[in-house]
Amino acid sequence: MAQLVTTTPGLYPLPEWAKDELSDLKGHQKEGLISGDEGEDVVAVYEDARGEAIDDQLTAELDRVVEGQLRWDDMLAHPLAVHDSVSTAGIVRYYDNNNFYRDPVVRGDLDFSGDVADELDAAAEHVDEGLQAVLPGPYTLADLATDEHYGDESDFLAAVGDFLAGEAKAFPEEVETLFLLEPSLLENPPGDGEDARASEAIDAVAAATDADVVAHTYWESHGGDEGLDEKVYAHLLDADIDAVGFDFVANHEDNAYVISEYGCTDDVALGVVDGQNTLVETPEEIAERVEWALANTPGTDFETVYATIDTPTFYLPSGKFEEKLSALGAVEREEVNI
Amino acid sequence: MSDNREQFRPEDHPNDHFLLTTVVGSYKKPKWLDRAFDLVEDEDANFGEAEFEEAKDDASRLITEEHERSGLDVVVDGEMRRKEMVEYFAHRIEGYEFNGRVKVWGHNYFDKPSVVDDVEYGEQWLVEEFEFTDEVASRPVKVPITGPYTLASWTFNEAYEDDAELAYALADLVNAEIEQLVEAGARYIQIDEPALATTPDDHAIVGECLERIVEDIPDDVRIGVHVCYGDYSRIYPEILDYPVDEIDLELTNGDYEQIDVFTEPEFTHDLALGVVDNHVAEVESVEEIKENIKEGFKVVPPEQLTISPDCGLKLLPREVAYRKMENMVQAAREIEAELDAGEIDVGRAAPASADD
């Protein structure tokens, strides 16, 4: 009998008051964005907002609680954007979204930063159990960045993997689960050889932590209505991770197919709440989607099934986001037929 | 494609050749108008709808006249009444609701609406804006209108099967709006579809939307479509099938790296070529702009070339935007004179090319 665990992949929207206060403090241009050495007044706003994000999850009774990554102005590129060996260049489009981030240009060795660990230390003070960390997966982070230092694609990917491993190693011991977000595995799938290296880099990060590691994929593959590429998936299963995450909102059939065809990890994460639409699912609909996914992946026998929002949630207005958290938290764990 | 370009040639046009000069649409709002947008939302302020309307009228008059002063052949009011290109329309269409701001980048937010029910035509969109501008202007007025694909893509779709279905439903509303604009005398409509650049595989959806939009619109009404900031090789030559007179493209920003995309197969529509960069505050010189205009001749002959900035000028300081327009017009007039004199020998502008 599998255990159902409700969670989210982080990158929350700022509460309305924090949107206003931070635009007043930081302005609207790229020069004002997070650099890693922000002043006290900015730090204080983020602390309050973080407390609120954690309270929202506790109130919703989610099983895993994330820090919220409210400081991540550059979305998944954040850990590089604040790194000393990286300078941020112009604003570039974030996948095919109507969102933009500062292009992080790597100009030196990616040594230890500790920026994300600091956030989690702060979050650990508010969370008794179920603390979850979120990082970009190494393939995704390398894909979002520009390398002007390592010079070779595979060296760069390995360096990003080692960097993220170092960050994960510094996480507080309270961290129970680590979500590695890997949308680039779909949006810009790795080719021959690169797919194996992407898996090795994920493996390096997973090896650095005692937390359960979920490599979470989302969106549809670029240029068509397809799920995760079969070859990429087969390589991903070579990594020593606890779960793969799938976006069952964007594409349930293809994802069910690859799981049935290639098997899966012992645990699985199912993206069953739409992180990019304001239509709020009911707890019953969420439970049905979980049941559908499990019924259509014969041959699997999962130990833990994470029911999650499929994508990060900064896409949503904060009110609708809170409603989605409540609906997810209200799923009757025992009554879901898994 | 009909030849509806000549109607925009000014009576006192100095040259035989005519490179139609215009703008994409949006323009920097005067600070006092931004303030008026804030004040009307503020219940404690003594600033009601009448004051707000007066402020918008004043700004529309001011910017229309600023456009005319720069010498443009076809003018716009700088979209002074529109806060944002999706929000403005969503407020006027039944079936939309607003739930709060979402991030675009950094601390720049957008009040992204949700479609929660079938979309229906609500209050008028642009007819009053057009009538006001047309009254103020002595030059012809172009009406930019956000296209249905962009209205659908930059919306949370809660009600329709997919974004294509929503886009088609919105296209029927855009068609109804354009019919009213034509009735009111509009002769130049530009459909803005920047969302196509983010999802180029959807070019056929945009094409189907445009078919619906132009249905029953008379041939003498000039219809353009504006696309910007994308990989054009992924939408060309498919966009030549679009039932429009003109395709308006941003190309200065990428230093015309993509111009060759449009040379094969032959560009059969009119090309509205971006010749000044709306994201750079430095004003391009007349000489520089003339070189940019010549890039257009690699794609179309002079009679198919319209001259325009890359995109809306709303992010530039007003005086910079004004000087860009002024230099752009002067550059076009100088190129026309050189064409008249047979001095231009580039691509499809070369005098012998017609006989090749």
Residues B266-306: pLDDT tens digits?
999 999 999 999 888 899 999 999 999 999 999 999 999 99
pLDDT classification of B191: cutoffs 50, 70, 90 = very high
pLDDT higher than threshold 50 for residue B99: yes
Give B10-46 pLDDT, tens digit per residue: 999 999 999 999 999 999 999 999 999 999 999 999 9
The answer to whether the Cβ–Cβ distance between A19 and B195 falls below 8 Å is no
User: What does the alpha-carbon distance between residue A73 and residue A18 come to, in Å, rounded to a whole number?
Assistant: 13
The answer to whether the Cβ–Cβ distance between B99 and A97 falls below 8 Å is no
Q: How far apart are the first and last CA of chain B?
A: 23
Mutation target to probe the B interface, by most B beta carbons within 10 A, among A98, A187, A315, A323 is A98
Give B41-84 pLDDT, tens digit per residue: 999 999 999 999 999 999 999 999 999 999 999 999 999 999 99
Q: How many CB pairs under 8 A join A and B?
A: 71
Residue B198 touches chain A, beta carbons under 8 Å: yes
Which residue carries 């180029």 as its tokens?
A: B200
Which residue carries 């068509």 as its tokens?
A: A224
B87: left (phi over 0), alpha (psi -120 to 50) or beta: alpha
C-alpha closest to that of A294 among A328, A262, A268, A274: A268
Comparing CB atoms, the residue among A33, A98, A319 nearest residue B104 is A98
Give A282-322 pLDDT, tens digit per residue: 999 999 999 999 999 999 999 999 999 999 999 999 999 99
The answer to whether the Cβ–Cβ distance between B106 and A33 falls below 8 Å is yes
Residue B341 touches chain A, beta carbons under 8 Å: no
Ranges in chain A, pLDDT < 70: 222-226, 338
A156 to chain B, minimum CA–CA distance in Å? Answer: 26
Distances from the Cα of A269 to the Cαs of A265, A308, A309, B25, B151, in angstroms? 10, 7, 10, 46, 33
Give B132-186 pLDDT, tens digit per residue: 999 999 999 999 999 999 999 999 999 999 999 999 999 999 999 999 999 999 9
B108 to chain A, minimum CA–CA distance in Å? Answer: 6
> What is the model's pTM?
0.89
What ipTM describes this predicted complex? 0.92
A253 to chain B, minimum CA–CA distance in Å? Answer: 17
Contacts of B104 in chain A (CB under 8 A): 98-100
Give A161-214 pLDDT, tens digit per residue: 999 999 999 999 999 999 999 999 999 999 999 999 999 999 999 999 999 999
